[in-house]
Chains A and B, each alone.
Chain A
Amino acid sequence: MKQRQPRQNYLGAGGWVWAGKYKLERYLYLLHRVTGLGLLLFGIIHLIMTTFFRIQGQDVWESTIAVLHNPVFKVGAYMVVVAFVFHALNGLRLILQEFGFTLGRPIPPVYPYKDALRKKRPWAVIIIAVVGILAVVFLYDFISGGW
């Protein structure tokens, strides 16, 4: 018997960005994916630095760190921190949703009712606010010299 193929993803990667009118949560999903891929890219660079370079001793380590103190890498490191904070908090929101904690009580759909997206909306706003606050805290630390 011929194996049934799964339904094709007609929009491909383009559908991540646009497939009609998107709401706030849908853009958080896109940002979650972008930050995830960014963190993976950073992880590869970070592992190369902390294994291949670190194992070669003090001189190689110090010259690597000197390269990383370059402003371009500092800005990159700050973006990694913010991406991690966003990915972690948005991930927490997704976990809460997946296990049904943010959906509210089931109620009969009598007009005017709140749809599921509006019930969950405060959580999206809260995580954006917390990410913003933490981004400022980390920015203070980066500007004040440490990193």
Chain B
Amino acid sequence: MRTTRFHLLHILAGVLIAVLLGIHMVRLHLDAILEFFGVDSEDPTSWTSMIDRASQGIWAALYIALLAVALYHALYGLRGIILELTPSAKAGRVVTWSFIIIGIVVFGWSAYVPLHLLSS
């Protein structure tokens, strides 16, 4: 039952990523098309454009939410691929716990940066 729940969470995270990363991709990549619809034409990767977004709470929240769901989805997916190669039960547990620790560390550091930029 526990495995099913984590798998459902993986699916749910996938749907959330499609929405959040969709917003991120359209904003960062479709600038020529956005310009056509009247959105500002500044290069989204320039420092001023980036800092402008980083100083808005809504973007920081979007990025941190995306970070959390994408990290879970990616690490759970990679764990699934590795466990498909049927390592021993002990090796499987090592993989699982390594990914949990990696996930927490990466989330902590990567969520700190937008919060730091938001407050600076």
Chain B binds chain A:
yes
Task: Identify which of A6, A9, A141 contacts B30 (C-beta below 8 A).
Answer: A141
> B1 an interface residue at 8 Å Cβ cutoff?
no
Task: Identify which of B25, B47, B109 contacts A84 (C-beta below 8 A).
Answer: B25
Residues of A within 8 A of B50 (CB): 54, 61
> B100 an interface residue at 8 Å Cβ cutoff?
no
> B68 an interface residue at 8 Å Cβ cutoff?
no
Task: Identify which of B25, B70, B113 contacts A54 (C-beta below 8 A).
Answer: B113
> B62 an interface residue at 8 Å Cβ cutoff?
no
**Which of A19-27, A39-47, A114-122 is the contact stretch?**
A39-47
The reply to whether A43 and B74 contact each other, CB–CB distance below 8 Å, is yes
Residues of B within 8 A of A141 (CB): 29-33
* Residues in A8-46 with C-beta less than 8 Å from chain B: 8-9, 12-13, 33, 36-37, 39-40, 43
> B15 an interface residue at 8 Å Cβ cutoff?
yes
18 other contacts beyond A88-B18, A92-B18, A142-B29, with CB at 8 A cut-off? Answer: A3-B89, A37-B78, A40-B78, A47-B106, A47-B110, A50-B110, A50-B113, A51-B113, A54-B113, A68-B45, A84-B21, A88-B21, A95-B14, A95-B15, A98-B11, A138-B30, A147-B29, A147-B31
Residues of A within 8 A of B35 (CB): 146
Task: Identify which of A8, A58, A138 contacts B86 (C-beta below 8 A).
Answer: A8
Residues of chain B at the chain A interface (Cβ within 8 Å):
11, 14-15, 17-18, 21-22, 25, 29-33, 35, 43, 45-47, 50, 70, 74, 77-78, 81, 84-86, 88-89, 106, 109-110, 113, 116-117
Q: Is the interface of B mostly helix, strand, loop or mixed?
A: helix
